[in-house]
Amino acid sequence: MHIYVNDEETPIESGETLDSLLSRLTSGGKLAVAVNDTVIRQAEWPDYQLQADDRVLLIAPVQGG
C-alpha cells in the first residue's frame, strides 16, 4: 500500500507507524506532522498507524522573515 508524503507517493508496510515512517524518511531535527490536515503530536507518533492513501504533511523551520 502507499501514502502521500508532501504529495509524493510513498510505499509503506501495512500497519507502519508514523514514528517508523519518519525515522526512514527524515534525518531528525525539529519537525511537525499533519495527517489528512490534522496535526499529530510527537507523543502520538509511535502508536499512530498509517492508513492507505493518507496525506502526510511534514514541515520544518527554515530561515524566513
Partner 1 sequence: MKTEPLIIGDYTFESRLFLGTGKFGSNALMHDAVFASGSELVTVALRRVRLQEQEDEVVSHLQIPGVHLLPNTSGVRTAKEAVLAAQLAREALQTNLLKLEIHPDPRYLLPDPIETLAATEILAKEGFIVLPYINADPVLCKRLEDVGAAAVMPLGAPIGTNQGLQTRAMLEIIIEQSAVPVVVDAGIGAPSQAAEAMEMGADAVLVNTAIAVAGDPVAMANAFRMATLAGRIAFEARMGAVSKSAAASSPLTAFLAQE
Where along the sequence are the contacts to partner 1 (CB under 8 A)?
Answer: 5-6, 8, 25-27, 29-34, 37, 39, 41-42, 57-65
Among 55, 57, 59, smallest CA distance to 3 is for 55
In angstroms, give the least distance from the CB of 21 to partner 1.
11
In angstroms, give the least distance from the CB of 49 to partner 1.
19
Residue 54 DSSP SS3: coil
Q: Which is nearer to partner 1, 14 or 38 (CB)?
A: 38
- The H or E element containing residue 23 is helix 18-25
In angstroms, give the least distance from the CB of 31 to partner 1.
6
